[in-house]
Amino acid sequence: MSDCPAFIRSDLSELAAYTPNPGGKDLSSLDRLDANESPYDLPEELKAKLAWIYQQEIATNRYPDGGHWQLREAIAQYVNDSANLDNAIAAANISVGNGSDELIRSLLIATCLNGEGAILTANPTFSMYGILAKTLGISSVTVPRRETDWTTELDTARQAIATVRNPPIKVVFVVHPNSPTGNILSHSELDWLRNLPSNILVVIDEAYFEFSQTSVVNELAEHPNWVILRTFSKAFRLAAHRVGYAIAHPDLIAVLEKVRLPYNLPGFAQIAAKIALQQRSLILPLVSETLQEKIKMWNILAAIPQLKVWQSQANFLYVKLKDCDPNHDSQKYTQLIDELKLRGTSIRYTGGGLRITIGTKAENARAIARLQELLKHSY
């Protein structure tokens, strides 16, 4: 790591930049099963429509709608429709961000900054919570998960919340279903969240909602200290546009609106997300293709003797090498993903295991063939 200039905050010197896979290289020949994106570009007709809108309707010299009202209305409608909520969610319950990553950062700024609070996560989980906390000088408390079903060790979590002080835990981050492990929140985890005191913010990240069809949005009205995060980066096939949203009580939404950057979401991204919602009947049907491929992949991976694979409610599978403790032998994993990448498939080594995004049929078939080939020789 290069030396930090002397004027930089001392606690940032040990923080490495987040390098999304595969980064920088020529990606055209690589099967990218490492970031849980959809393997499918938008349908041709939608891209043509967006290109037309860009030409005809976007004045590039003007700032975009800084309040995102049309998009927030469209999102509220989608949330209501997809949860059979009778207009319970309105635009005032929605805040949009430059990816849900921006919303995570806004939530941290609004809760824990200035030494006022720490966050709690159950690892392995989405790494961004800890990374963004660190960039803001916010401390993270991590509790383990049980490797049988990846549920949180709740006694440890309760103990942490009861005992951690200076600062106390103010935000709990959960993912439903979790990345990288694919499990949805269990009944006991949900009960734990329901009973957390109202001075703790509960962030329920539903980035994979369209795959799992599980959501806590029906309970949101009862819990003003809950916020749900969603994204257009996965099932909606819009990762390039960086659009995420938060669903919460209007008082919390008002705070998010206060701390975000002005004009945080480019006009074209707002329009792309709005069109994607309007035309979702052209976009979301491929979710079921991904889910079918996931079952196929699971069956094949489960039959490979060196591997352990878990059930997943999302668009990826989590796999471990049976005879390899990543704490002592992480080299085996890094070697495996490097060799897999040389053969043309990029997957992610995270949380002590391998996360494989479900791609197209052809990408999945190549991934399996390459993995089987590698596992024949060693590991």
Residues that bind ligand PLP (CB under 6 A): 36, 99-101, 126, 175, 179, 205, 207, 231, 233-234, 239, 244
The bridge status of strand 169-175 relative to strand 118-123 is: parallel
Helices assigned H by DSSP within 58-98: 69-83
**In the complex, what is the shortest distance from the CB of residue 128 to ligand PLP, in angstroms, rounded to a whole number?**
7
Q: Rounded to whole angstroms, how far apart are CA atoms 274 and 312?
A: 29
Start-end of H helices in 164-221: 187-194, 209-212
Instruction: In angstroms, give the least distance from the CB of 37 to ligand PLP.
Output: 8
Say how far apart CA 259 and CA 237 lie, in whole Å: 28
Close Cβ partners of 201 (under 8 Å, ≥ 6 residues apart): 107, 111, 170, 171, 172, 225, 226, 227, 252
- Closer of 246 and 275 to ligand PLP (Cβ): 246
Residue 97 or 324 having the CB closest to ligand PLP: 97
**CB-based contacts of 280, cutoff 8 Å, min separation 6:** 78, 236
Which amino acid appears at position 250 of this protein? Answer: P
Side-chain-side CA neighbours of residue 51 (13 Å):
7
**Smallest distance from the beta carbon of 232 to ligand PLP, in angstroms?**
7
What is the bridge-based pairing of β-strands 94-98 and 118-123? Answer: unpaired
- How far is Cα 375 from Cα 322, in angstroms, rounded to an integer? 12
User: What φ, ψ does residue 156 adopt, rounded to 5°?
Assistant: -65, -40
**Distance of closest approach, residue 129 Cβ to ligand PLP, in angstroms:** 9
**Nearest distance in Å: CB 347, ligand PLP:** 15
Q: Which is nearer to ligand PLP, 207 or 340 (CB)?
A: 207
| Of residues 99 and 124, the one with the C-beta less far from ligand PLP | 99
Compare residues 348 and 370 and give the one whose CB is closer to ligand PLP: 348
Least Cβ distance, residue 36 to ligand PLP (angstroms): 5
The residue among 324 and 347 lying less far from ligand PLP, judged by its C-beta, is 347
